[in-house]
Amino acid sequence: MRIGINSFLFTSPFTTASTPLFRTFKRWGFDTVEIPIEDPSHIDPAKVKAAADAAGLAIGSVCACMGPGRDFRGSAADQKAAMVYCKALIDQAVVLGCPALIGPVYSVVGKADAVEPAQQKKEWALVVKNLKVLAKHAEKRGILICIEPLNRFETDFLNTCDQGLKLVKAVNSKAVKLHLDTFHMNIEEKDSAAAIRKAGKHLGHFHACGSDRGTPGNDHIVWPPIVKALKDIGYKGDVVIESFTTDVKVIARAAAIWRKIEPRRNDIAVKGLAFLRQALA
């Protein structure tokens, strides 16, 4: 398992000018970087790939930023915007040499409200329909789409591994897998290790975050059963630290980070990496 870092910990938006971060990530010992692309125009993927290669760092995943106006269960305009955006990220992933598009690739983040069963059924059908189209594009381009359930405060659509697996199976594409995150699982799952085992061969991506969205290992999550579950299912994908701090204001507001989680944000990366290296050994 490779260990990666999500660049949101240090910058938003990530642009071509952000690539000097790669040298720092490599020096700290990370194997991969996860790049949230807020708008495809923000990067020149060939230049970003060249910078990663020069640093000796793999681009392990591209993170979909499903902001306002990008919603596969929303209006016709929102569905179209989400499709154009996600297809563009898949095309950029090819140039980046990146194997996967990850994240809540189904709906705008923050849309969380009580939805009547009839409306739920309608929204589910819309997401499945749109993801089938997106999956065909991903299949042609050789890119995985890894769908992430979020906690109940960030979405009302997909919160648990069970719901995620239901969606993966409904789309029924070799290009679509599940993405689990310890922060969200800590809120929504009865047993995170059991959820990982249930995901099994469908697990395509994994986020290792502290229970407070800080440093993995400096939190109340019981990590040994999670690590054992990953090994038991033969998971070979990336394990990525996706944490946020008040230093990056836009992301702090979006993720409800109102206080310093750690004294220094570098500690989240450096100490989190050291913990995961030991835990995964």
Q: Report residue 177: phi and psi, to 5°.
A: -130, -175
Query: Catalytic: 148?
Result: yes
- The catalytically annotated residue of 148, 154, 189, 262 is 148
Say what the pLDDT of residue 131 is: 98
| pTM reported for the whole predicted model | 0.96
Q: Which residue has the tokens 């395509």?
A: 204
Which amino acid, one-letter code, is at 83? M
Instruction: Compute the average pLDDT of residues 203-216.
Output: 95
Are 130 and 91 within 8 A, CB to CB? no
What is the share, in percent, of the chain residues with pLDDT greater than 90?
91
Say which CATH number the domain at 191 has: 3.20.20.150
Longest dimension (CA), the chain: 52
Query: Is 34 designated active site?
Result: no
From CA 231, how far away is CA 31, in angstroms rounded? 19
At 215-269, the pLDDT tens digits run: 999 999 999 999 999 999 999 999 999 988 777 777 777 778 778 888 888 999 9
Mean pLDDT of the chain: 96
Residue 154 lies in domain: 3-280
User: Structural domain tally of the chain?
Assistant: 1
- Give per-residue burial for 106-130: e unless 16+ CB within 10 Å, then b: bbbbebbeeeeeeeeeebbebbbeb
- 52-104 confidence digits (pLDDT tens): 999 999 999 999 999 999 999 999 999 999 999 999 999 999 999 999 999 99
Instruction: Give the tokens for residue 211.
Output: 């229970």
Q: Which of 38-47, 148-157, 183-192, 242-251 has the lowest mean pLDDT?
A: 242-251
Q: 14-44 burial string, b = 16+ CB within 10 Å, else e?
A: bbeebbebbeebbeeebbbbbbbbbeeebbe
Of the candidates 171, 235, 227, the residue with the CA atom closest to the CA atom of residue 203: 235
- CA torsion 184-190-194-198 (nearest 10°) is -70
Of the candidates 34, 123, 188, 242, the residue annotated as catalytic is 242
Distance CA 121, CA 33 (A): 36
CA distance 101 to 62: 5
